[in-house]
Amino acid sequence: MSKVEIDNRLLKPGVYFMRGNDASVEGALIAGCRFFAGYPITPSNEIATLMSRRLPQVGGIYMQFEDEIGSIMAVLGASNGGVKSMTATSGPGFSLMQEAIGLAAMTETPAVIVEVQRGGPSTGLPTQVGQGDVMQVKWGSHGDYEIVAYLPNSPQEMFDMTIKAFNTAWRYRVPVVVLSDQMIGHMREKVVVPPYEEIEIVERRRPEESPEEFLPFSNKYLIPPMAVAGEGYRIHVTGLAHNEKGYPTTDYETVRKLVTRLVRKIRDNERDIAEYEEFMADDAKLIIVSFGITSRSAKKAVRDARSKGLKVGLFRPKTAWPFPYWRLQELTNNGADVLVVEINMGQMYRVVREHVRSSEVYNMPLTPGACPSPEDIYKKIEEVYPR
């Protein structure tokens, strides 16, 4: 753990009334981000706009590219060059980035992508809310890899989770997504910037070997230390399956070790990475699973249900991937039913069904464009509540 670099151009500790997207920018800068490449897209634009002003102030570089493909490739290049880097986008841009996200996973290049979801599919609803990219985050690129995605539900969490995303990306050498949504991104709320000494910052682990002994993708480690291009270590980076030196190979055993490691470095650490919030879930007969903006509506619905004597609770995954299934299993072992509320046609619902076998799992599928009100969710609670 290292410290926040003391720099009076960073946002000072204090209390602010801040937009979610802006909070993400200030969090990124405090985490050490000094490069941003992006292409304009609603509803993530405020991130690029503020970055273009703030990065030069802290000695960083902002670049607008010809499209999202160029943007994410520049972010990966900067990361290999030793700079903490990120981009921000929404659904259509995120689709364009998928191939490069696979490249980041294969080359173990840390990067942060803030994805502010809007309604889809395709260009869909640029200015309105959606939560339809839960599965795309996990399975968007081809082949086997593991990725991490955070699910903020407030401007405060846009700040906190952007810092966490950098830490996780640089600790595990993976691309990490902050999967927000239009309403959280555009909402203003209280954001507390804690004293810098309370903020954990993770830097890349540098090689300890001499340049002669160094293997950039050594299987000696689950997460190999990462050299910076240009500092004397021989580095070869390719999307092709590669050996420990980074050179292309088709040797079955070598590829097996590589792909296994890419997956294991997240799966073996899923309980350290995954986060969740519980609200009145311990004695609940019905547990609502919800995230992002819908989880706030669901929380109100839970309070309303409790005030009418219904034992309803909330389980809010703060990471979509890894999904904290083990805790949900513990909460449902006593037979509690589950209701999944999300602004899509049943994406996290499938994940919950995969892990909750002992009780009923209900779905509240919603098309994009609006967040369900607490009353909408309460109606569904009354419909499925076990009696």
Partner 1 sequence: MSELKLRLIGAGGHGILTLGRVIGSAAIKYDKECVMTVAYSPAQRGGWSRADVIISDDPIDYPIFVKPDILVTTTQETYDLEKGNVPKGKSIIYESTLVKPVDVPGVKQIGIPAISKAHELGSSVVANIIILGFMNRVYQIMPDEIFLDVIRSSIKKKYLDLNLKAYELGSKLGEEALKS
Judged by the rule CB under 8 A, the positions of this chain that interact with partner 1 are 15-17, 127, 183, 186-190, 296-297, 299-300, 303, 371, 373-374
- Closer CB to partner 1, 27 or 322, in the complex: 27
Smallest gap, in angstroms, from Cβ of residue 15 to partner 1? 6
Helices and strands in the chain, H and E counts: 13, 15
Instruction: Say which residues have a Cβ less than 8 Å from residue 220's Cβ, sequence separation at least 6.
Output: none
- Closer CB to partner 1, 257 or 303, in the complex: 303
Smallest gap, in angstroms, from Cβ of residue 277 to partner 1? 13
Tokens of 153: 């539900």
- Closer CB to partner 1, 13 or 239, in the complex: 13
CB distance 138 to 68 below 8 Å: no
- Closer CB to partner 1, 98 or 153, in the complex: 153
Smallest gap, in angstroms, from Cβ of residue 313 to partner 1? 14
The structure tokens 């009696």 sit at 387
Would you tell me how many other CB atoms lie within 10 Å of the CB of residue 346? 15
Smallest gap, in angstroms, from Cβ of residue 128 to partner 1? 10
- Closer CB to partner 1, 44 or 297, in the complex: 297
Q: Classify the phi-psi angles of 219: left when phi > 0, otherwise alpha if psi is within -120 to 50, otherwise beta.
A: alpha
Smallest gap, in angstroms, from Cβ of residue 289 to partner 1? 16
Smallest gap, in angstroms, from Cβ of residue 384 to partner 1? 20
The CA distance from 339 to 188, in Å, is: 29
Tokens of 193: 């910037």
- Closer CB to partner 1, 238 or 373, in the complex: 373
The structure tokens 């999904």 sit at 323
Closest to 260 measured CA to CA, from 273, 247, 241: 241
Smallest gap, in angstroms, from Cβ of residue 127 to partner 1? 8
Would you tell me how many other CB atoms lie within 10 Å of the CB of residue 3? 10
Closest to 320 measured CA to CA, from 181, 136, 134: 134
- Closer CB to partner 1, 188 or 236, in the complex: 188
DSSP 8-state class, residue 279: E
Measured CA distances, 158 to 41, 83, 186, 253, 265 (Å): 18, 21, 11, 41, 25
